[in-house]
Structure 1
C-alpha cells in the first residue's frame, strides 16, 4: 500500500494493546467495552491500478451500492410481510426444528429468504448478505411488537376503546407500549365501523417498514470489504468493492477501492483491541463511516461498592444526583445533591418540539384538504406539504443534535461528580416503569420527549471509562417516600420541596429521590439481574433507614469566581469630526478603590474652541499634601 504499512483489523489489538501501559493493565482488572465513532475518508485510490479517485466519484459509486441494497431490502421485506414470518422468528426454529443462528444472513440462508434484483443486474453474494442481515434485524425487532399486538387485540373493546386487564402473566406489556397499540386498534375500529376485531397481527395494523439506505459491512468477509489500521494508529484503510455503474451486468463492473480515513484524535493512545468493519451511509456531506471499536476499561466491582450516586430524572432539568454511603454504622447521607444545569438547552428543545408539532399539524390539515381539492389546487397544496415536511425534518435533525450534546454533557458532569465523591456505582431509574403523569398535557409530553434514554446510554458509556458501574433500580416512590423512615413526604413549599416530619429531613425533592435511588442500589447490589444489551438491574426495592450525616460527603460544585475589578476597554484614539464618538473608560468596581473616576474628555459638542487641558501637577486633596 504505497508507503503505508497496514495491519489487519484482527491484529490491530496487538498494536493498540501496547497503550495499556498508561495505567489500564498495571495490576488493574479490565473488561472490554465497545463504543462508536464516525469518520470520513480523505483519500480514495483504485486498488488495482493505484490511481487516485475523486471523493465525489466515490460518493456516487457508494450511492449506487446503497440503492441496490435498499431496493432489494424493500422487496424482501414486502415479500416476507406476513404472519408466518413472525411465527418462525418468534419460535426461533427452522423447518428441521433447529435453532436459528444469531447471524441474520445465516438465518435467512437457512430459511431460504433470498433477495432478488432487477433482471440483468449482477450483485455479489456478499452484498446479498448485507441485505438479509439488515432485513432480519428489522423483522426480529418487530417480532416482539407482533406478539404484543396479538395479545392486546384480544383484550380490546371497540365500543369503549379500552383494554381489559390481562388474565395471563405473560400478557403484561409496558403501559406506554400498550397505549400506542391501543391507538392503532382504535383507529382500525373506527375505519371498520366499530366491528369486533378479534386476534390481529402487526401485518393487519401497519405496512412494511422502510429499509435504511446503509451498508452494514460487518455481515461480509474479505471478499467484499476489509479494514486495516496503520502502524502509527492514526489512519483506517478500508478496501471495499463498489460498482462502476448503477446497474452492473458482470463481475468486471465491480472494482475495489481503497479508502483512507483518519482516526479521531481522542482515540489515539487508547487501548483499542478490535476494529470491526464500519457501516457506510451517505449524508449531506458525502460518505460517512459509522465505526465501532472495542477497548479495555477498568472493571467495576459492584459487590464491594460502598458509595453510590443516585440520579433522579427531573421535569425541570434533565436530572439531579445525590450520594449515599454504606458505613459501619449503616447508611448515611448528607441529603445534599447536585442539580444539573442544562445551560438553557431544555428550553430550546421545548421550543423546537412545539414547532415540530405545529408543522406536523399543519401538514396533516393540508393533506386532508388536498384529498378533496381540484387537481390544480392539489398540486399547490402538495408543494406546501413538501416544504412543511422539509422544515419538520430539519427541526428533528436539530433536536437530535441538541439531545446528543445534552446527554453527553450530562453524563460527563455526573461522572465527574461520582468520581470526586469516590463512588463505585451510579443508580438510575428504570425507564421502562417511569412515566410522567399529573403535570398537565404539555409538561407530560415535554418530559416524555426528553433525551432520558440517550442520557442513560451516554452515562453508562462515560462512567464505564472511569470504572463506575451504572445500575438500573425501580423508580416507584423514589420522590414520594422518606429515605429514613419510608413514610410519605410532605410538600410544604410546593412541588419541588419535600419534608419528613418524623425524621426532620427535607430539601429538594430530586435530591431526596437521588438518595433513595442510591440506597436501593447499595441494598440490592448482591441481587443484580444482568441481561445482554441491558444495564445491570435491581428488580426489588429494599428499605433501610438512612441516617443524616453532618459531615460533608459530596463534592462541592464549582462556582464562577467573582471578579472584583472590572476590566475596561483601552482608550480609543481621538477621531476627527464634529461630534466624534469617544470611549469613556468605566470606573473601577472594587470596593476598596479610592481613585476618582476619570472625567469624560474629548469634543465639547460644538465648533467652539476647546478648553485648556488640566495642569500636569495634581491638585491637593488635603492640607497634609501641602
Structure 2
C-alpha cells in the first residue's frame, strides 16, 4: 500500500433491499408487497412519461441543440438535465386527470435528457459516416480530418445500419443521414433516479448501519391530487463490508423493481489514499488475454534504467470463461430461433401466428434469463480479477497499474466466433472493478495505448518472433521472451512509467496516457515480481493399500481433459471404452472399504 499522505474522494455503488416500511405521517407499518406495488405505480408513471418525451423529441433538431450545447439565445446549457429541459421547454405529458408532483417531473426530464445526450455522440458519428458511405459497395471512405475518426468496431455497426437503410429505400436516401433516420427511439428501463430531486421528494439518513429513505409514493395507480401522494419511510440495512469504510457522504439511491421486489441501487463517497504518479517507480502492466481474462507483469525504474524479470502472473478464471462462452452460444441460438419464428409469423395465418408468438415469448424469456446469468458471472469474474491483480501489485510495491485502452483495442484475425467471444468479454467491467479495488490501497489505474504491445520487444522495440506458436514470443536480438501476454504486460508497464508526466485526466474517466515512448527494458535476474499464491491440496493418507480391481470387471481408462481455451478448435477425442454417439461413463465399484478410503483431515 502506498502511503503518500494524500487522499482523494472516490464514489462507488452498492445494492440493498428494504426490510421495513412505515407511513411517515401516522407511523403505521406498510407491508413490503404493498411497498412494491406503490413503487411500481410511480415507476409506471415515470417510464411512460419518459418514453413519450423521448419519442416526441426524436428529430434532428433535438440533437443539433445538444451537440452545440447552447440554447436559442446562445447561452450554455446547464449541466443538470432537468434544468436543461426546463430552459428548452421539454415538458413530459401524463395521462388525463393524473396528478404528478413537479419533483417527479424532474426525475423524468433528467433521465430523458441524459439518454438524449448520450445519443448525441452517436448522431454526430452516424452523420459523419453516412457522408462517406457508398451504397453501391457498402464501404465507407477514409476520414479526412481527425474529427471524423470513429472507432472501427462502432463504424462497422453503423455501416450495417446504413446498408439496411439503403436497401429499404432502394438507394434513394440522402447522402447525410441522422440517427433518427436509421434508428428508432430507444427503450428505457423502469427506474427512478432520486438524485435528480430534492428533499421534497426524497431524503436519506444513515445511522447505526441502517439506511432510512423517506420518499413520496402514490397511493393509487392514477393519483388525482396531492393527497394521494404520501411519504413513506423505508429502512434498509447497509452491507457489512461498508461498516468500517471512511464514507464521507451517502447519495440518494435509484429505485428499481426486479423479480424479488424493490431494489435500492445506492452510491456513496469515501476517502481513499491517493498515489503520486510522478513518484512511481514500479508499475504493473495488464494485458487482456484471449485464453483468460488477463495477465500481468512488472516493470521497475531503477538507476540503471527500466528492468523486469519477464515473469508474469496469469489470471485463473476458475472455469468461468468457459461457462460464459457456453451461455453466449446458447443466447445466440435462442436469438436466431426467435428471429426465424418472427419471420414465419409475419406471413402465417392468424391461428398459426398466435402459436408462433407464444413460442417467441418463451424463447425471449429464456434469452433474458441467459443474459441475467451472464451478467452475474461477468460481475463475479471482474471483481475476482480486480482483487487478484490488486494483491499482485501491492505485493510488488507498485503504485501504478497500466491497462490497455479499450477504445483502441479490437480483437480481429482469429475467426468470427473467437473474435465475437473476445469482444463480448467483461473487459470494461474488469477495468471498473480493478479501478475500484486498486484505489482502496492507493494504486492508480491508467490507460495506455494498446497497439504493438504484444508484437514489439520491450528491449529493442522490434518485431517479436513466434517460435512456439501464438502464445509464445521471443526476441532474437535481446534474447528475451516468454509468454506472449507477459511480454505485453512489460510493454504496457513501460509505457506507463515513461508517460507518467503526460497524463490526461477527464471527469469520470481513468487517467490516460496517449503517447508511446520507448526505452530499453533490461532483463534482470533479480526477483522483481511476487510469486502468485497457489491453492494447497489436501494431503492423502498413503498408508492404505492400493486398490485391487475386481476380477471380471473392465476398468474404464481415464483420459485427462485438454486445457480449456477459447482458441481451441479441435474437439477432444472420445475416451477409450466409449462407443456410440453419446459418452457413457461407467462407474466401477470400488474395491476398498469406506473406512480405508477416508482422507486425513
- Counterpart CA distance in 2 for 1:568 and 1:425 is 51
- Counterpart CA distance in 1 for 2:277 and 2:112 is 38
Corresponding residue of 2:325: 350
Give the secondary-structure state (helix, strand or coil) at the position aligned to 2:277.
coil
- Counterpart CA distance in 1 for 2:599 and 2:358 is 59
Q: 2:558 matched to 1:583?
A: no
- The answer to whether the Cα contact below 8 Å between 2:472 and 2:482 also exists between their aligned partners in 1 is yes
Determine which of 509, 513, 521 is the counterpart of 1:534: 509
Q: 2:191 matched to 1:214?
A: yes
1:241–1:196 Cα change, 3 Å: closer
Give the secondary-structure state (helix, strand or coil) at the position aligned to 1:96.
coil
Shift of 1:534: 1.0
Shift of 1:587: 6.8
Determine which of 497, 508, 525 is the counterpart of 1:550: 525
1:51–1:163 Cα change, 3 Å: same
- The answer to whether the Cα contact below 8 Å between 1:158 and 1:195 also exists between their aligned partners in 2 is no
Shift of 1:470: 0.3
Number of aligned residue pairs: 554
Shift of 1:66: 0.3
1:424–1:582 Cα change, 3 Å: closer
1:329–1:224 Cα change, 3 Å: same
- Counterpart CA distance in 2 for 1:194 and 1:109 is 40
Deviates more, 1:221-230 or 1:581-590: 581-590
Determine which of 15, 23, 33 is the counterpart of 1:56: 33
Which blocks of at least 5 consecutive residues in structure 2 are unaligned?
545-590
Corresponding residue of 2:470: 495
Shift of 1:524: 0.2
- Mapping 1:334-373, distance limit 5 Å: 334-373=309-348
- The answer to whether the Cα contact below 8 Å between 1:73 and 1:132 also exists between their aligned partners in 2 is yes
- Counterpart CA distance in 1 for 2:275 and 2:142 is 41
1:584–1:532 Cα change, 3 Å: closer
- Counterpart CA distance in 2 for 1:46 and 1:479 is 61
Q: 2:450 matched to 1:475?
A: yes
- Counterpart CA distance in 2 for 1:585 and 1:559 is 30
Shift of 1:585: 3.3
Shift of 1:197: 3.3
Q: 2:465 matched to 1:455?
A: no
Corresponding residue of 1:296: 271
Corresponding residue of 1:145: 122
Corresponding residue of 2:147: 170
- The answer to whether the Cα contact below 8 Å between 1:158 and 1:196 also exists between their aligned partners in 2 is no
Corresponding residue of 1:128: 105
- Counterpart CA distance in 1 for 2:543 and 2:102 is 71
Determine which of 431, 437, 442 is the counterpart of 2:412: 437
- The answer to whether the Cα contact below 8 Å between 1:81 and 1:208 also exists between their aligned partners in 2 is yes
- The answer to whether the Cα contact below 8 Å between 1:323 and 1:333 also exists between their aligned partners in 2 is yes
Determine which of 441, 466, 471 is the counterpart of 2:441: 466
Q: 2:169 matched to 1:159?
A: no
- Mapping 1:126-275, distance limit 5 Å: 126-230=103-207, 232=208, 234-275=209-250
1:553–1:84 Cα change, 3 Å: same
Determine which of 21, 25, 33 is the counterpart of 1:44: 21
- Counterpart CA distance in 2 for 1:567 and 1:34 is 54
Corresponding residue of 1:16: none
Shift of 1:561: 3.2
Give the secondary-structure state (helix, strand or coil) at the position aligned to 2:165.
helix
- Residues 156-196 of structure 1: per-residue CA shift (max 9 Å, x gap): 00000000111222111111111111010001111112335
Shift of 1:94: 1.1
- Counterpart CA distance in 1 for 2:127 and 2:419 is 29
Shift of 1:243: 0.3
Corresponding residue of 1:69: 46
- Counterpart CA distance in 1 for 2:599 and 2:89 is 80
Higher Cα Rg, which structure = 1
Which blocks of at least 5 consecutive residues in structure 1 are unaligned?
1-22, 570-580, 591-626
TM-score, with structure 1 as normaliser: 0.87
1:226–1:560 Cα change, 3 Å: closer
- Counterpart CA distance in 1 for 2:462 and 2:323 is 38
1:240–1:582 Cα change, 3 Å: same
Q: 2:288 matched to 1:318?
A: no
Determine which of 81, 104, 107 is the counterpart of 1:104: 81
Shift of 1:560: 3.0
1:588–1:450 Cα change, 3 Å: closer
- The answer to whether the Cα contact below 8 Å between 2:283 and 2:401 also exists between their aligned partners in 1 is yes
TM-score, with structure 2 as normaliser: 0.90
Q: 2:368 matched to 1:393?
A: yes
Give the secondary-structure state (helix, strand or coil) at the position aligned to 2:211.
strand
Shift of 1:212: 1.7
Q: 2:415 matched to 1:415?
A: no
Q: 2:60 matched to 1:83?
A: yes
Give the secondary-structure state (helix, strand or coil) at the position aligned to 1:240.
strand
1:562–1:229 Cα change, 3 Å: closer
1:27–1:540 Cα change, 3 Å: closer
1:213–1:587 Cα change, 3 Å: closer
Give the secondary-structure state (helix, strand or coil) at the position aligned to 2:252.
coil
Shift of 1:116: 1.1
- Counterpart CA distance in 2 for 1:286 and 1:466 is 35
- The answer to whether the Cα contact below 8 Å between 2:247 and 2:269 also exists between their aligned partners in 1 is yes
Give the secondary-structure state (helix, strand or coil) at the position aligned to 2:278.
coil
